[in-house]
Each structure stands twice: as structure tokens, then as C-alpha cells.
Amino acid sequence: MTTRDSTRKAEEATAYSKFYHSLCSVQDILSSGNGSDLASKPMPAIPFESLLFGEAFNSLRSSAAKVKIASDPARDLVFKGVSFKEYLVLEPALYNCRRDGTYRELDVLCKKIPLGPHIMSPPEALVVIRSDDEDERVCGMLYPYYRNGSFAHALDRSVKLGIRIPLAKKAKWCYQIVSGIYHVHTNGQSWHQDLKPPNILLDDNEDIIIIDWEQGIGGTNTFTAAPETYHDVDAHYSEGEKSKVLYIPHGGPPRMNNIISTPHWDVFPTWSVHCRKAVELAEVYSLGATMFLTLEQVALEYVPGIEDYSRTSLVWSIASRDIPQPWKDVVDACVRQDPNERISMKELLLFWDSERHKFD
């Protein structure tokens, strides 16, 4: 081995050690708030090197790929997490955000959200790495693989084939999307923050599964995000009237808790503590925009560097003449510019529950 080879090997070992120590240990995961339910229902820990990687998925938040486990090569799973390669090639701030998003999703799915309808279940296993004789560190998780793929792809296919999706199926999907988010808000006291068709899967029965619970890493989609979330504002309940929210521009120095994308100030963490109604109203807007994409059947533009649906306008086309007017009206009620004028999430749930049963 040459001196150059020895130096390169030593540098790689040093970099890998830094990557290893940037991760949480399994014990840290079990004993902290992250995934506290794992202590009573421990997940298996799968070595990263035992994964057989296949198709990579387009994801701005973390490594995401279809994988198999060497011990069970017949079964497909999805790996989400971070890798040594990402540690080497990404800017430190971006790597840290992706790593933190991985752990935050584990926290949300295992601790904050009870099992409920149309929400991704907690991961089936932790993926770990080891360095020499030290303890295992968590670099990701394994989730079920759904062969029907993303909801966005289903909409894309319908547009490409020129097929209008039956109203019964659209009503079912709208109800299931609202039902999932309603469950998160009422039973989990949490939120999604980036609801859109690419963050939804279809299971084997073509039912909705809402995924990507990192909550805000990488920003939010400007088409589906409520406009008030793109400003540095504080939200408060109106004095003596908890049903109304006051939005007050932040008067101090500019704030930043999102260093890799926009908006630079993520309002959801503070709103969720001080004014949960503001979080609900923002998510109602996202539900309305997502329902519009569903009912109108809008294809996703796959353009590098271009945000999802950035060229889409909330305007019904002649293709949607088959959509009942009350459905269009409820979408309009979701996306009103004044958050306090929007329909409530419970009203939205009841509306779609009624509409879907008309096709029984």
C-alpha cells in the first residue's frame, strides 16, 4: 500500500467516524422522546450493509429507495434515512436537516400520532450502522412498499390516458385524505405541513396512505401551502373569541428556523403551541388545494429545479364539468384567502363522509 493510499484510507476512516457520531444510538432513540413507544414495542435493528438497494425514489428530504433484506429477498421494503454518501457530498446544514427530519418522522409516527386511518404506520425496523466495537447508530427506517405507488402517479396516468376518474373513487379519496389529517389534528395534536399528491400513496385496495411526516424540512409546496404560512407572523386567538385567529406580523429581527429552503421562518412549531386553530386553518387550505388537484386531475410536472405544481392555478377547466358544483364550492371554501373564512376541518370531514355514501 502506498503512502497516498494509506492517507486516503485514513481520511475515509475519519470521515466515516464523524458520520457515525453524527447519528443517534439505538439507546438514545429508545430513551428519548423520539419514538418513545419503541421502548415497549421494540423494532428489529437491521444492519445497513444487509440491505439490497434497488430503485431510488425522488426525495428532497432523505435517502429513499426500494430495498430488500438479504435474509428475506422476496419482500420489498422502502428505506428512508441518511447515508455515508450523503454525509460526504451534502453541505453540512443540508445533511443535518435531512438527518433531523428522519428522526422527527420517527418521533411523529411512533409517539405523536396514534394509529389511525390512512396514515403511514410506524416503521417496521430501524436501520443501523456500527463502528468497530461501538454501539449501533440509527441511520434510517424501513417502511412497507406499496406497489400502486404515489397518488401523484395515479393522477398522472389518468391525464396521460385521457381518462376521467369515476366520481365515486374521487369522493372516497377526498374523504380518506381529510379523514387522515383530521385524525392527526384531533387525536394526535400534530400536523403534516406538506400535504400534496406526491406525499400520498395508494395501497393494494387503492386506499389513501399519507406519508412524509418530517414536518417542514426542505420547505413546503407553494401551491398547496396556505399563503399565511409564507410570512413571519405570530398567530393568536382573538380576545374572548377562540374561534377567530389574529395574525400579527413579527416586529423583531427576522427569524430563521429553516436554513435550507423557504419560508425561512417555519410558523408551524410556534403556532402549534400558541394557536392550534391557525395550524388547522392552514391545513384546511392544503386539503382544499390537494382536493382540487384530485378532482381536476392535475398531472405533476417533472422538471429539475421546478417545484411541484408551480405552474398550476386554482381554476376549474372544462374537463371538470363532471364535478358536482357542491364539490367545487367546498374546495373554494377551503382556499379562501382569509383563514378565518375557511370551512372547519370537521365540517369538511362530514361533507365528504356524506358525499361518498351517495355512491353506496
Question: What does the alpha-carbon distance between residue 336 and residue 322 come to, in Å, rounded to a whole number?
Answer: 23
Query: How much of the chain, in percent, has pLDDT values that exceed 90?
Result: 68
Q: Please tell me whether residue 214 adopts helix, strand or coil conformation.
A: coil
Of 127, 144, 161, which residue is a domain's last?
A: 144
More confidently predicted of 114 and 328: 328
Three-state secondary structure call for residue 81: strand
Q: Which helix (H) or strand (E) holds 101?
A: helix 92-107
The reply to whether omega before 92 is within 30° of 0 (cis) is no
25 and 139 share a domain? yes
- In this structure, what CATH number is given to the domain that contains residue 122? 3.30.200.20
Q: What is the pLDDT of residue 34?
A: 47
Residue 248 sits in a domain whose CATH number is 1.10.510.10
CA distances to 4, 10, 20, 21 from 16, in Å: 18, 10, 6, 9
Which of the four pLDDT bands, split at 50, 70 and 90, describes residue 218? low
d(CA 311, CA 86): 30
Q: Clarify whether residues 16 and 76 are in a common domain.
A: yes
Q: 53 with 159, same domain?
A: no
Q: Are residues 178 and 310 in the same domain?
A: yes
Which structural domain range is residue 270 located in?
149-358
Q: Which of 144, 163, 192 is the last residue of a domain?
A: 144
The answer to whether 160 and 299 are in contact (CB under 8 A) is: yes
pLDDT band at 219; cut points 50, 70, 90: low
Co-location of 130 and 192 in the same domain: no
pLDDT, residue 209, reads: 98
27 — pLDDT class (breaks 50, 70, 90) = confident
Q: Which of 119, 144, 169 is the last residue of a domain?
A: 144
Read off the pTM: 0.92
Could you tell me if 189 and 280 lie in one domain? yes
Same domain (yes/no): 100, 174: no
Region 336-342 average pLDDT: 97
Given a cut of 80, whether residue 248 has pLDDT beyond it is yes
Mean pLDDT (the chain, rounded):
89
Mean pLDDT computed over 193-205: 95
172 contact partners, CB below 8 Å, separation of at least 6: 207, 356, 359
What are the beta bridge partners of residue 236? 246
Domain count, the chain: 2
* pLDDT over 80 at 249, yes or no: yes
Q: What residues pair up with 72 in beta bridges, in sequence order?
A: 69
Q: Which helix (H) or strand (E) holds 297?
A: none
Same domain membership, residue 238 and residue 123: no
CA distance linking residue 198 with residue 309, whole number of Å: 11
pLDDT at 102: 92
Kindly state whether residue 155 falls inside one of the protein's structural domains: yes
